[in-house]
Amino acid sequence: AQSVTQLDSQVPVFEEAPVELRCNYSSSVSVYLFWYVQYPNQGLQLLLKYLSGSTLVKGINGFEAEFNKSQTSFHLRKPSVHISDTAEYFCAVSGGQGGSEKLVFGKGTKLTVNP
Amino acid sequence: DGGITQSPKYLFRKEGQNVTLSCEQNLNHDAMYWYRQDPGQGLRLIYYSQIVNDFQKGDIAEGYSVSREKKESFPLTVTSAQKNPTAFYLCASRGLYAGEQYFGPGTRLTVT
């Protein structure tokens, strides 16, 4: 079965510092990859997605992610974070053996941006 | 404004009672999903439906039931058979392409 591993459950950083949230997935065939953000007591909002083409994907709020097929990774980055980026971030995958109708989520990474 | 609505935002029930969570979408999406979220567990799929009058079990369907009588609506019933129903429940829908899902604001259910 498809699986997603988010390597860090919590990431604390200072405001204006760069951040990388790591995500690895298990499929050896073509997949679609997503990052979502969740603010407390809210639903999930799509940050960015990789479907095909360029391996560097740009999303909302200044985030970007790089698809690395050989390492089966899709790490999320931001060069300079703000207090307002404090939230939980979820990596998700569809396609591959699991089919495209379902998403498999990682367990999430809580990003805390400190002043 | 197109989107997904879930109601109510907070729901409190006594143990042994069934409770139904509402999910409505006006995105004209065919597929709809229910997830359960617990701290540190990510999102786990309860049920999904790809078309009206059809639905499939997800990874944790026991103790839950759904119906899909209309394209816009996908209510979830948490039955008294669900052993640990207190959680945050999220509804989502999917358009045509590539598995991208759109989420509602969630319902926090507390059963005491």
User: Mind giving me the DSSP string for chain A?
Assistant: ---EEES-SEEEEETT--EEE-EEE--SS-EEEEEEEE-TTS-EEEEEEE-SS-SEEE-GGG-EEEEETTTTEEEEEESS--GGG-EEEEEEEEEGGG-SS--EE---EEEEEE-
Mean pLDDT of B28-43: 92
Mean pLDDT of B31-51: 93
Mean pLDDT of chain A: 92
pLDDT at res. A23: 97
Q: How confident is the model at residue A41 (pLDDT cuts 50, 70, 90)?
A: confident
pLDDT at res. A97: 55
pLDDT at res. A24: 96
Mean pLDDT of B52-61: 95
* Inter-chain CB proximity B45 and A46 less than 8 Å: no
Q: How far is B59 from chain A (nearest CA, A)?
A: 11
Percent of chain A with pLDDT over 90: 74
pLDDT at res. B77: 97
Tokens linked to A19 = 């951040």
Search chain A and give the residue with CA nearest B39. Answer: A107
How buried is residue B107: exposed, middle or buried, by Cβ count under 10 Å (0-12/13-18/19+)? buried
- Residues A100-112 have pLDDT tens digits of 688 899 999 999 9
Q: Which residue among A32, A43, A103 places its CB closest to the CB of B104? A: A43
Search chain A and give the residue with CA nearest B108. Answer: A41
pLDDT at res. B106: 96
